[in-house]
């Protein structure tokens, strides 16, 4: 009887231990999540700045949990087709790279930025002419020339027959309207589709520069080349959405620079060189020339509204 009791006790102990171990294993398994499904994609192995050209050494393939990967993530197999494109946004180290993060292909040569029939013209500038070096590739500018009246004749065409007289001997004459800046010094746009590029030096600052390159139709290139010899080139920086024409029109001792597409009497913005008041006509009638002051500038500068920066300073402009 004693033997039977010992055998039964041993069996009971064994079965109890086995049950407890199996139960423990079940509990452990119940708390362990199922192995997550992954997707192989590419990520940035270092910080990528906006405007950088994507290259192979900048990315690495990783297995990422599918639940955290949105549609459009680039796979290692497709990565090569995206190399050479421009990053539209800054990317941090380890960040997934999506097709929407990238823009058009970077050009191999600067000449690929030019449109058919276009040519590049490089103009020497200083801080004043370049709006204190605030021009960057992708900006749009109006280009005018400040020259002696006796030298304006070679530029006199139907579009350039009138100019703003800044003093007894000089005139400010518009040359070209809404021209795109392609490069400042050796800092060009990376692609034709790139909206703008901010050149940054090693210290993280926008560097000063001495040259601005613009893209113009070939017929206008000769006009710019001639203008550089006749006087000083002046840039008016404008908003990319501004569609007004740049013209010069005089009326009762006032002058206007911009007009809308209608080119009507009241579509011009008038300015007084004497009082520095910004004026606009209050009547369409030429016989009733009434003007209303819009703003005042207490400095020997001219204010042109709807442009950036708001205060533009053509060289040698003096108060009368």
* 192: CB partners within 8 A, 6+ apart: 104, 107, 112, 113
pTM for the complete prediction?
A: 0.51
Lowest-confidence pick of 16-20, 83-87, 248-252, 291-295: 291-295
All structural domains of the chain with their residue ranges? 38-105, 110-312
Provide the 10 A C-beta neighbour count for residue 278: 20
Q: What are phi and psi of 2, to 5 degrees?
A: -65, -40
Pairing of strands 170-184, 140-148: antiparallel
pLDDT of residue 15: 63
Specify the 3-state DSSP secondary structure of 148: strand
226: burial class by Cβ within 10 Å (0-12, 13-18, 19+)?
middle
Name the band, by pLDDT with cuts 50, 70 and 90, for residue 221: confident
Indicate the CATH number for domain 38-105.
3.90.1210.10
**pLDDT tens, residue by residue, 229-257:** 888 887 777 776 666 665 555 444 444 45
282: burial class by Cβ within 10 Å (0-12, 13-18, 19+)?
exposed
Name the band, by pLDDT with cuts 50, 70 and 90, for residue 44: very high
Residue 307 has pLDDT above 50, yes or no: no
Q: What is the average per-residue pLDDT within 144-166?
A: 57
**pLDDT tens, residue by residue, 120-146:** 888 877 655 554 567 788 888 888 777
pLDDT of residue 256: 47
pLDDT of residue 224: 84
Lowest-confidence pick of 41-45, 110-114, 214-218: 110-114
* 28: CB partners within 8 A, 6+ apart: none
Question: 75: number of CA atoms within 13 Å, CB side?
Answer: 7
pLDDT of residue 317: 32
Specify the 3-state DSSP secondary structure of 245: strand
Residue 210 and residue 184: Cα distance in Å, rounded? 8
Name the band, by pLDDT with cuts 50, 70 and 90, for residue 97: very high
Residue 275 has pLDDT above 60, yes or no: no
CB 53 within 8 A of CB 85: yes
Name the band, by pLDDT with cuts 50, 70 and 90, for residue 173: confident
């Amino acid at each position: 009887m004693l033997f039977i009791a010992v055998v039964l006790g041993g069996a009971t102990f064994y079965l109890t231990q086995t049950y407890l171990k199996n139960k423990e294993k079940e509990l452990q398994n119940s708390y362990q999540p199922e192995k997550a499904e992954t997707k192989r994609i590419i990520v940035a192995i270092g910080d990528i700045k906006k405007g950088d050209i994507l290259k192979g050494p900048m990315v690495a393939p990783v297995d990422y949990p599918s639940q955290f990967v949105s549609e459009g993530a680039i796979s290692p197999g497709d990565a090569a087709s995206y190399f050479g494109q421009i990053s539209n946004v800054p990317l941090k180290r380890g960040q997934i790279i999506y097709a929407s993060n990238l823009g058009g292909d970077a050009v191999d040569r600067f000449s690929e930025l030019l449109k058919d029939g276009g040519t590049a013209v490089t103009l020497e500038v200083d801080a004043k002419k370049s709006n204190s070096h605030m021009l960057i590739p992708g900006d749009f500018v109006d280009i005018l020339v400040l020259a002696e009246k006796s030298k304006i004749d070679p530029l006199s065409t139907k579009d350039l027959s009138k100019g703003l007289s800044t003093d007894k001997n000089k005139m400010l004459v518009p040359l070209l309207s809404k021209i795109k800046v392609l490069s400042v010094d050796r800092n060009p746009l990376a692609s034709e589709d790139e909206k703008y590029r901010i050149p940054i030096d090693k210290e993280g600052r926008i560097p000063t520069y001495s040259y601005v390159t613009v893209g113009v139709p070939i017929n206008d290139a000769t006009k710019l080349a001639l203008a550089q010899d006749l006087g000083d080139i002046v840039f008016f920086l404008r908003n990319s959405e501004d569609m007004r024409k740049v013209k010069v029109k005089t009326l009762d001792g006032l002058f206007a620079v911009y007009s809308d597409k209608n080119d009507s009497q009241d579509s011009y913005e008038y300015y007084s060189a004497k009082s520095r008041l910004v004026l606009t006509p209050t009547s369409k009638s030429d016989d009733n020339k009434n003007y209303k002051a819009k703003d005042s500038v207490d400095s020997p500068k001219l204010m042109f509204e709807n442009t950036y920066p708001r205060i533009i300073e053509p060289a040698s402009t003096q108060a009368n």
